[in-house]
Every structure is written in C-alpha cells, then in structure tokens.
Copies of this chain bind each other. A is one copy, B any other.
Amino acid sequence: MTEPNVTTAIATSTASDVFIRGKSLCDELIGKVTFTEMIFWNVLGRVPTPAETAVLDACLVTLMEHGLTPSALATRLTYSSAPESMGAAVAAGLCSVGSLFVGTMDGAGVLLRRMLESSSSVEEEALRIAEEHKRERKPIPGFGHPQHKPDDPRSPKLLDVSRAHGAAGKHVAAIEALGKAIDSVYSRHITLNATGAIAAVLADIQVPYEILRGFAVIARAAGLVAHVHEEQQRSTLRAVWHAAEAAVPYAPAAPDANDPHDSE
C-alpha cells in the first residue's frame, strides 16, 4: 500500500541545534522570545505581533485556573495515588477538558463563521441564530454561565484587551451583535461567557477555529501543575475521597429475581 507523502513542518534536530519551524532554538528562540510568543510560533507557524501576543496572553491567563474543578480533582486524586508519574496526573485532568467545559469554544467558532459567511448581514444572521436556538430550546455556545451571572466578568476584560491593542475586528463585532440579538429574542440578558469571548478575540488574530480548544488545553495543563504542587505540600486525597463517599452513599438495587446462580 503506497502512502501519501507526508512531512512535518514543526521541528528537527541535529547534534548542535534544534530547528523549530525553520528557526534555530539556540540562536533565535531561547532568551529571545517569551513562552507565549513561542506557543504562537510553534502552534501557528507565524511570529506574533505584540498585539497578538497580548491577546493570547490574556486568553491563556483567563483559562488557566478555576479552582477545584472536576479536572483539577482528577489530577489531584491521580497524583496522590500515583506520585511517580506527574505527567500522568496532569493527563488525567486533561481528559476532562471536553464538551462540557471548553467545547463551547468550538461551537462559538461555528456560529461566528456562520454570521460572517452569511449572505445576509451579520445582524440578520445573529437574529436567525438566536431564534433557532430559542425555538429548539438549545443552549447557545459562548453564552450563559451557571455561576457567573448576570455577567461573566471575564468577557468584557478580554474584549477590552483586544480593543486596547487594536486587535478587535469582525469576530468581536459579530459576537457582540449575537449578544444583542439574543437579549432581544429571549427578552432577557444572557451573558457572553469567557469561552465565547475567547473564540472571538482569538479568531480576530487569525487563530483557526479548529485549534481554539488547544489553547484551553495548554492553559489548563499549567493550572493543573499548580494543583499537583499543592498536592505535594498537603494531600487532599483522603478528604476528597471521603467527602465523595459521603455524598454518594451505597444503595444496592433490589436483588435479581432471575439469578441463574441462585438455583445452583
């Protein structure tokens, strides 16, 4: 079976250097760029402008930490059960960075694209989206938050950073148009949440929709290391474990009347 010729543009190494997307790690990157600039370069293959770096920094800072989330709990339980593998502990936490918590970033990206590629105006398409979701009683990705209400305090900060650096463009405009349409259609205010704001400000610095979620993964990995370090200092394993057992008591179902083993 012949394979298509595939190549990687990311990195190669020689005895005397590592080349990352064509730049020398030792001569052009170490000591020359920040971690955020390096992330932009390595993931997107483009050197960020200072404005782009500022926007990405703001997003990564926003996404990094939210306390004892399910993901942080998974990492902490894993680390204190198997401290020999810090990588596996962070891995356990990243397995839950999925649809419920950050997946809405992708969904918000889909809506942004739809508004901007529509043959109608952004405002008309926004109204159509709001009406569809209301009719089908579906949550709108990027809007609403169980705890941060009436307003998610992170969203205006993210839009402020984007505007202050001249990095806000058509995606920020579109998400704001969608916010207005939603308030009008639902006759009440539903907050733009942090993942919705991040989708917009990153799309305005040309981050492709499909990799948006990757920045949440990076930021959360860093946050999870903070939880590992706290677990090293004072383990919460037994406190969490016993609290969980108390919160979810054992209550077996009624016996199985047709147990073929009973007649043995």
Contacts and interface: CB of A to CB of B under 8 A. Distances in A.
Interface residues of A, number: 139
B227 A10 contact: yes
Interface in A88-135: 88-101, 103
Number of copies of this kind of chain in the complex: 4
Contacts of A56: 35
A217 B226 contact: no
A260 to B, nearest CB: 5
Contacts of A221: 90, 94, 217-218, 221-222
A195 to B, nearest CB: 14
B74 A82 contact: no
A35 B34 CA distance: 9
A78 B92 contact: yes
A210 interface: yes
A230 B12 CA distance: 15
A157 B30 contact: yes
Nearest to A87: B97
Contact of A30 (B62, B225, B240): B62
Given A3-B242, A94-B221, A158-B30, A45 B85 contact: no
B47 A61 contact: no
A77 interface: yes
In the A-B complex, list the 5 residue pairs whose CB atoms are closest, starting with the nearest: A82-B98, A87-B97, A221-B221, A88-B88, A243-B247
Given A81-B98, A87-B88, 19 more contacts: A6-B248, A8-B68, A8-B230, A21-B252, A25-B61, A34-B34, A34-B61, A45-B253, A48-B260, A70-B81, A70-B241, A82-B103, A84-B99, A85-B88, A86-B217, A88-B98, A236-B244, A236-B247, A239-B248
